[in-house]
Structure 1
Amino acid sequence: MLTRKQLELLDFIHKRMQRDGVPPSFDEMKDALNLRSKSGIHRLITALEERGFIRRLAHRARAIEIVRLPESLGGHAGAGFQPQVIDGDRPDARRPAASMEVTGGAVELPVMGRIAAGVPIEAISHAARNVAVPDAMLGRGGEHYALEVQGDSMIGVGINDGDVVVIRETATADDGDIVVALVDGHEATLKRYMRRGNAIALEAANPAYETRVLPEHRVQVQGRLVGLIRTY
């Protein structure tokens, strides 16, 4: 049995992970539940973990995995629950890069090659394959595509080497967004976007990688992270 606050927090984390592909920060959780300090969030997180509803991943910031949901939030008794970890097997046939086919509540998105979560790699602009994505993950609509992650610079927000990220096409970003950034017109990288005056900081989520601060004319935003697919 969960308390009202525990249930509110679990519901908030679940909805944010479905919308953004990554868990909310402790500050965001505190504000959402109208708590005065983050210590209350720590206690609620610990209680949810002890009851088997979430799992915290060691040595990673903001790394929370929902293991199951109570029936009041749409879960099933005894069943595991992984809202952002979905089957990413390759389909038998390739489709054109521009295609987005809706089939039974899922959308076929083109996987446009690899994106570096580490040292930037040469940008890739052709579809290697398609992947089926739940249409609920795409939220407000717009054009979307997928990229396979190469590297470990974003492991602090739960994005691992080999994951497939779902990207909504956009040329703009807000501070804190995880974006596909094109550097100097030919290097593509997945990083957290932060504006610093007339410069753009591309921040990793791994202390092994330094933040790159570049003049804004050298950085073009190609899209924003909205979902994550993991294939085991």
Structure 2
Amino acid sequence: MDNSFLHIKKIMLIDDEPDLLKLVSKILTDEGFKNIIIATSVKEGIYVIKNEKPDLIILDVMLPDGDGFLLMEEIRSFTEVPVIFLTAKDETADKLAGLGLGADDYIAKPFMPKELLLRIYAVLRRCYKEEGTLLLKLGNCTIDFSRAEVIRDDEVIPLTAKEYTLLETLSRNEGKIVTVDAICEALWGDNPFGYENSLNAHVRRIREKIEAEPSKPVSLITIKGLGYKLNTRE
């Protein structure tokens, strides 16, 4: 599978272990990733995320000035950037806590380089699509998947990573029902259980961006008891 279009994505590492930062950076650069940025604390992490706007964050749970879980909450207060926890804490409760805060995956140390890369590619592919995708015309707007934007009247509205993935998943099944489970799997991976409320929130925000009347949607339709479908027009 060709992953070369993902190598331009900006990967951010947040960890205070110099040896691990050096190892992960080498794994990524050897694989072809061209833009890697680093932070070593919660405070620095927040500053760098807001200024550098990474496409994926690899985050340690234990940091010198705070907890990675608290940092994850702060991250989700202003961005939907994909996050992978990379940590020595492998307890089920910690894993569920990280995923429940909106992380996209969780990898325990020690790890195999191939496993790390496969998980990074899986998250990036769920969240970003190869450029060159055609515009998608909806009743009230146009979605530009190459730019992750909604063009509505004369306004350009950015999509978050999760909104992008949800719309891309529905667009690949144009006019067909996509189940809640299938959408949650596309957004959160192999274990999508428990994300229904988060999905509802994403759907609501998408409707605010694409619908003329979000409370009376004509493009992103709920199929009660089953899932959602996307109505498009030529």
Shared fold by TM > 0.5?
Answer: no
Higher relative CO (Cα under 8 Å, sequence separation at least 6) belongs to: 1
Larger fraction in strand: 1
Higher helix share: 2
The TM-score with structure 2 as length reference comes to 0.27
Per the normalisation by structure 1, the TM-score is 0.27
